Structure 1
């Protein structure tokens, strides 16, 4: 297999750019390859190339004013999704078998949804993040994408710790969560849910209510902790290079610079309470929900951080923070739509059961083939 590596990972002899030309100019060639790409190389893969990222991985759009926006071959007039935009586009174009990226708040799941690919955010801490430019270490994960579920699983067998596996007894769905998404996304994922119900060898679905009114507060708390950590990780450099940032990313770092330790601590407490309630609801079950709140905005709408992208980002965050806050694994699965614009269904699984979810997704792929 060939791997497109997001431009955040150390690769021996290469400089990391983090989506910013000034950062690239000041970087020294890496002395070692980060554990995740090194493990894939040791398993027989080759690196096809280093792929673009949104600056410092601080976006879900995939736009980059320095280098241009990577293509979305599944919907050429639409943005690719970020921040793992480069690896995703490389896989969608057939330039690589695997896209190796990161997911802090949706940066694998969202572009997978926008481009009709399979993508996983693993359990928090399951894959080492050493040798990686951090965004928010409490939430950063190393994830990957592929065109088919078998490849996604094959990579998981290399990168994920091996554990005893067991089937899931149920999958939870909640109309309250699906209501966060657009009509277009609800329609496509609704068909996928109906198809799931018709398969006797898939975990039975169970409807549960979920108070979606709590999500905006959880998003604010997640973004507060994320922002505070992002500033701790990159603020000293950014404070000397404000003019090098694209406007959308600069505005996020400007907000992040204002967070205090007290802000972080209070948000962390509330976020832990939110995560505990989710754990109470989910237990050892799956949860199904949209991977993103909408289809990919058009390039014309986006215009690098425009209001359409920001609205889509805010609504999508309400869905992606469920796995992010709890540290659970999450896999985005492409579902067909009537107009051909990609949409993703997300399977959120218990911590440590990543391979169980990946094997279930491979079974889903077999159902689609039939």
Structure 2
């Protein structure tokens, strides 16, 4: 089957293939008029999947059918605008790709976009698409949403069929979506989830001080201020304080199982294509290759015990925490510093992966930024950077979680408006 001709190559930081549209949707439905940026992991009929790796793209055959999630969005009336870039094999949360470049951060000039759903996130942030379709294994929806001030949902693990999707670590891989507003996000999620498997969830919340303490002081302060406003508005009810356990141990176990599965999925290809990957992702695969079966099994046992404990601890409650440990780092951040940012953020994001729960990033926090090297504009001489408020909800309560997030966001917006009026003397 030859590759579709109704597209133009758009090799660049945001798009790999772009159309006008690339694939037209049903024309009518709840998503009519919406344009989707599809992460380059999903099958789009007539097109190849590159997974952020040119050598992988070169050996791929055009897909004969759409991935489930792509087909569901098209059936709901959305158009596929194009295939958007990803970090190599989705094995990064930075948003860098040594082959196609680094997409801009639509909220913070000069900062990293977040990954691995970097292309879809930037396309949405820059209004080149209204919906981003991506994946989240260890934070690849939540981190770019946090860095770029977007709404982003990681679905309940297994809630969306993953046929026609290049995996990274199947035990944790989940379909996710990005949008500029909660209403659009909800419509996209509702159109994609398997009908009849969603349920309600009570608006009962929990907070884990040990997890919040992993964030930068500015992020922790913004998170605390938001909780205070929500509490004053009466929205948090009987907020529970919970102990998530040793997050260093949990994140390391998560990293180990993720690596073992990534090597199982892609190891043969990586061995057969030396030099095909950039240094950062190549180093991750080199470490993944070294993970022994015994180490993977022990890590799996650690995660199983943690999953049972966290489920018993949280029950029907939704855990509140920052979506990332910091605002978006500058594009030219040194590799060692970026590794530290990744490690601290993964200690937060791994909780949803371990439990399989849905996780929503809501763009309601911000932290001051003195400057971003090379940024200018928004942050050239001050300003702020967005950070997401993350809600980790009960399994199969994805839509209810978005509804909770929209209520919390509305309350925080009202609180900010009231504060602004008080500050400027407006009655």
Residues 134 and 163 (structure 1 numbering): CA distance in 2 closer, same or farther, change over 3 Å? Answer: closer
Supply the distance in 2 between the matched residues of 1:193 and 1:79 (Cα, whole angstroms). Answer: 27
Q: Which of residues 93, 98, 102 is equivalent to 2:135?
A: 102
Residue equivalent to 1:148: 181
Q: How far is the alpha carbon of 1:211 from its aligned partner?
A: 5.3
Conserved? CA contact 1:235–1:257, under 8 Å: yes
Residue equivalent to 2:399: 355
Supply the distance in 2 between the matched residues of 1:74 and 1:256 (Cα, whole angstroms). Answer: 34
Pairing 1:196–2:244 present: no
Q: How far is the alpha carbon of 1:244 from its aligned partner?
A: 1.0
TM-score by length of 1: 0.95
Residue equivalent to 1:298: 330
Pairing 1:250–2:282 present: yes
Question: 1:155-166 maps to which residues of 2 (within 5 A)?
Answer: 155-161=188-194, 162-163=196-197, 165-166=199-200
Residue equivalent to 1:215: 247
Pairing 1:312–2:303 present: no
Structure with the largest fraction of helix: 1
Q: Deviations over 1:60-88 (max 9, x none)?
A: 10001111000102111110010000000
State the SS of the aligned residue for 2:176.
strand
Q: How far is the alpha carbon of 1:259 from its aligned partner?
A: 1.5
Residue equivalent to 1:327: 356
Supply the distance in 2 between the matched residues of 1:368 and 1:193 (Cα, whole angstroms). Answer: 9
Question: 1:169-180 maps to which residues of 2 (within 5 A)?
Answer: 169-180=203-214
Extract unaligned runs of 5+ from structure 1: none
Q: How far is the alpha carbon of 1:15 from its aligned partner?
A: 0.8
Conserved? CA contact 2:95–2:102, under 8 Å: yes
Residues 188 and 369 (structure 1 numbering): CA distance in 2 closer, same or farther, change over 3 Å? Answer: closer
Q: How far is the alpha carbon of 1:254 from its aligned partner?
A: 0.2
Residue equivalent to 2:152: 119
State the SS of the aligned residue for 1:3.
strand
Residue equivalent to 1:85: 118
Residues 24 and 169 (structure 1 numbering): CA distance in 2 closer, same or farther, change over 3 Å? Answer: closer
Q: Which of residues 335, 343, 362 is equivalent to 2:387?
A: 343
Conserved? CA contact 1:291–1:344, under 8 Å: yes
Q: Deviations over 1:306-341 (max 9, x none)?
A: 011100000011101111001001000112425320
Q: Deviations over 1:210-245 (max 9, x none)?
A: 155x11111111111111110111111110112010
Conserved? CA contact 2:367–2:386, under 8 Å: no
Conserved? CA contact 2:321–2:389, under 8 Å: yes
TM-score by length of 2: 0.83
Once the two structures are overlaid, the 10-residue window that deviates more, 87-96 or 261-270, is 261-270
State the SS of the aligned residue for 1:347.
strand
Q: Deviations over 1:273-302 (max 9, x none)?
A: 111111111011111001001111101214
Q: How far is the alpha carbon of 1:195 from its aligned partner?
A: 1.8
Computed over aligned residues only, the root mean square deviation of the Cα atoms, in angstroms, reads 1.4
Supply the distance in 2 between the matched residues of 1:247 and 1:79 (Cα, whole angstroms). Answer: 18
Supply the distance in 1 between the matched residues of 2:283 and 2:323 (Cα, whole angstroms). Answer: 25
Extract unaligned runs of 5+ from structure 2: 1-33, 369-383, 415-427
Q: Deviations over 1:13-68 (max 9, x none)?
A: 11111101111111111111100010000010000111000000000100011110
Supply the distance in 1 between the matched residues of 2:238 and 2:103 (Cα, whole angstroms). Answer: 37
Conserved? CA contact 2:317–2:394, under 8 Å: yes
Supply the distance in 2 between the matched residues of 1:270 and 1:338 (Cα, whole angstroms). Answer: 35
